[in-house]
Structure 1
C-alpha cells in the first residue's frame, strides 16, 4: 500500500516494490545492498535539481556548490527531514541495529528520491515537486 500525500512519503507509487526497496537497509539476511543502489540515483537527481535551481537564478558556481554542500554534503539535513517525516518507523533496518542511525536515514531519504524518480518515468519535474513536498527544499519554486 502506498502512503498518501501528507504521510511519511508524500508520493503515490505505481510500483510499490520501489518504495519497499527504498525503505530497506543493507543486510546480510536479505538484500546485501539494501537501498544503496536507489540512494546513488537519488543523490545524483537531488544534486541535479539543486544545480538547476542555482543555474536558473544565475548563481555563480561557488553559490551553486555551497547550496549543494548545505543540502546534500552532510547527512545532517537529509536525516533531519527523514526523522521529521517519521520515516524511522518505516525503515526496515539491519536486524543487528537497534535504532535508525543518521547515516541510514540520510541514505533512505536519497533512496526514496531515487525511487520516485524511477517510478515517475524519470520525470525530473515530478521528482523536484516531491523533494519540495518532502520538506527538503521548502523554498524551491517551480
Structure 2
C-alpha cells in the first residue's frame, strides 16, 4: 500500500520542490496501473496513473523553455533564431534528455511500478519527469515550474548561458 506522505517526500527531495497538494506528487510517479489505492490521512483513496500529468508536463516544459529562449539575446544583442530554439528544445526536452535528468535526480527511484515491471525504463523515466513537471505546474503554476527547471539545470544550455551575459550591457 502506498502512503502519500512518504512517497511525496521522495519526489520533493528529488526535484527540490515542496508540494501543497502531495497527492498530485504521488500521482505524477504512479505507473503501476490505470488506478491504484493509496492511504492518505488514514483513508483509502484511488490514484490515477501519470499519463495525463505527463501530457501537461510536456507542454509546460516546452512553454517555459520557449519563454526563456524568446527573451534570450546573443552577445551582439540579437534574438536567437528558430533553428536555435529547435536545437535547444531537442537537446533539452527529448525523451533521452528527460530520462537522463530523471535518473540524475533519482526520480526513477520514486516511480510506482507494477510488480511485473520493477525496472524503470528510460521511456518510463522521461514520462515520469514530464508528469512531475505537470504536477508542479498544477500545484504552483509557471513560477514554480521555472524555479524547478532552473534548479535542475534546464537554463544552463550553452545558448542561454552565452546569451545571459548580454543582460549586463544596455542596448
Alignment TM class, shorter chain as reference: 0.7 to 0.9
Partner residue, 2:120? 100
Bigger Cα displacement from structure 2, 94-103 vs 126-135: 126-135
Q: Which has the higher strand share?
A: 2
Deviation digits for residues 73-96 of structure 1 (CA, Å, limit 9, x no counterpart): x31111111111111221101222
Partner residue, 1:17? 23
Runs of 4+ in 1 over 4 A off after TM superposition: 139-142
1:35 and 2:55 matched = no
Partner residue, 2:61? 46
Deviation digits for residues 40-87 of structure 1 (CA, Å, limit 9, x no counterpart): 111101101111111111211111111111111x31111111111111
- Secondary structure class of the residue paired with 2:9: coil
**Count of aligned pairs between the two proteins:** 139
Partner residue, 1:65? 86
After superposition, where does 1:55-134 map in structure 2 within 5 Å?
Answer: 55-57=70-72, 58-72=79-93, 74-120=94-140, 122=141, 124-134=142-152
Stretches of structure 2 that go unaligned for 5 or more consecutive residues are 37-45, 73-78, 165-171
The 2-side partners of 1:21 and 1:101 are apart by 18
Larger Rg: 2
Question: Would you say the 8 A contact 1:131–1:137 is kept in 2?
Answer: yes
Alignment TM-score, normalising by the size of structure 2: 0.71
1:5 CA displacement = 9.9
- Secondary structure class of the residue paired with 1:8: helix
1:128 CA displacement = 0.8
Alignment TM-score, normalising by the size of structure 1: 0.85
Stretches of structure 1 that go unaligned for 5 or more consecutive residues are none
1:29 CA displacement = 6.3
Q: Which has the higher helix share?
A: 2
- Secondary structure class of the residue paired with 1:20: helix
